[in-house]
Structure formats: C-alpha cells, structure tokens
Amino acid sequence: MSGVKRFGEENFISLCDELAVIDKSFQQIIDEYGYAPCWSRKPTFSTLIHIILEQQVSLASAKAAFDKLQLYTGAINPENILRLSDEEMKACYFSRQKTTYARCLAEAVLSGNLDLESLIYKDDDTIRVILTKIKGIGNWTVDVFLMMCLHSPDIFPFGDIALVNSLKHVKQLPSHTTKEELLSVIEPWKPYRTIAAFLLWHAYICRKGIVFKSA
C-alpha cells in the first residue's frame, strides 16, 4: 500500500484532537458528545451492496433491506444476487432501480471487470474512476466506501444531506449557504476532512437522538 495514506483506530483520536486545535467547533463537539466512533466497514461486495441500499433513504431502511437480503440468500455474494428474480429482490425491499444496480455490481465482479481486493492498494482518484464506471455507483457511494472501508483521510461528501446539515448547524450557517461557501469553511481541515466528517456525523446523530439497532 505504498504511498496510500490511511487512518485507523491507532491515530483517530489524535487526529480529532488536531482538528479541535485548528477549529474550536470540533472541541465543542468532543466536549458535548465525546469522540466520534472510528467507523469501519470491510471493503467487500456485501458492503458495497449495503452502501447502494443507503442511497437516498434512511440508514434504518437500508439496514432492514440488507438484513432481509442476508436472511434470504444466506450469503450476500455476486452469485446469489444474480440468482434472485425481480420478485425476490422486491421481497428484500429493493427498488427496481437498486435491483439493477446490485446486478450490475455483481456482473462486474464475476466478469473480472472489478477486483475489489485490489482497490486497497490504489489511490482515491483511481478507485473513484474504477467504481463510477459501474451503473448505480456515483460519487456519494464512492465517498462512503473510501471513508468507511479504506479510511481515506480527506473526503467530504457534499452529497450527504445529514453531513451538510450538521456542518451548517455547527458553524451556524444559513440554510441557503452555497457549496462554494461551504468549501471555504472546510478548506482549513485538509488533509483530514474525513475525520471532520466523522465528528460532524457524530454530532448530528447525538443531537437527533438516532439509535442504530444491531443485526
């Protein structure tokens, strides 16, 4: 993984502290809610399916669909996805659109066009080019994969409504604040904007009282 920088449990807290020195808003988050979790997911096919399910719906809805799919298939892998009929996918709470996305991902893996294991050795831009070639995988999905699965340190997904709302709330910005204005706000957080996003998500989750149920 030469030249590819990542963060992990071993330095996550110290990076939060660095950001808290750069911007007191993060110290206020830490003081009020504690440190954010160092969220982590495995860089696997099933994780990408889960992230696709999370597109434009609540995390709880996506989790329910993912759990139903896992119960239905026993193992979420490309072969099992392609065995399911439209009706079976619908029974697992997949929309017609996300059924197509899941099948395109499965076909890409089985055909050898996508080698998920090799992604951990590539830089962020290369990974983005590879993944966005697959129907249904856009920048938000890649951002979440990079942040949660590969722990790339400098990602900030503006396509995430909760994150942007948390940013506006914490910085006391009006709702009509433009993306360009927000970019200038987060500029000083480089090269650790993923860490900043984790803290902002954490603040949002705590402020809203959101509880995640385990599988």
pLDDT tens digits for range 28-37 = 999 999 999 9
The per-residue pLDDT for 119 is 95
Count of alpha carbons within 13 angstroms of residue 68, beta-carbon side: 14
The string of pLDDT tens digits covering residues 133-153 is: 999 999 999 999 999 999 999
Question: How much is the pTM?
Answer: 0.92
Q: Which residue has the tokens 């831009």?
A: 125
Q: In the structure encoding, which two tokens stand for residue 204, read together? A: 């949002």
CA max distance for the chain: 53
Instruction: Indicate the angle between helix axes 193-208 and 24-33, nearest 10 degrees.
Output: 40
The span from the CA of 48 to the CA of 51, in Å, is 5
Q: In this predicted structure, what is the pLDDT of residue 166?
A: 97
| Helix runs in 112-178, H state only | 124-131, 139-144, 161-170
* Parts of the chain with a pLDDT under 50: 1-2, 214-215
Alpha-carbon distances, residue 71 vs 22, 75, 89, 121 (angstroms): 46, 8, 12, 32
Tokens of 166: 């948390």
Q: Hey, what domains does the chain have and what are their CATH numbers?
A: 9-39+155-208 (1.10.1670.40), 45-141 (1.10.340.30)
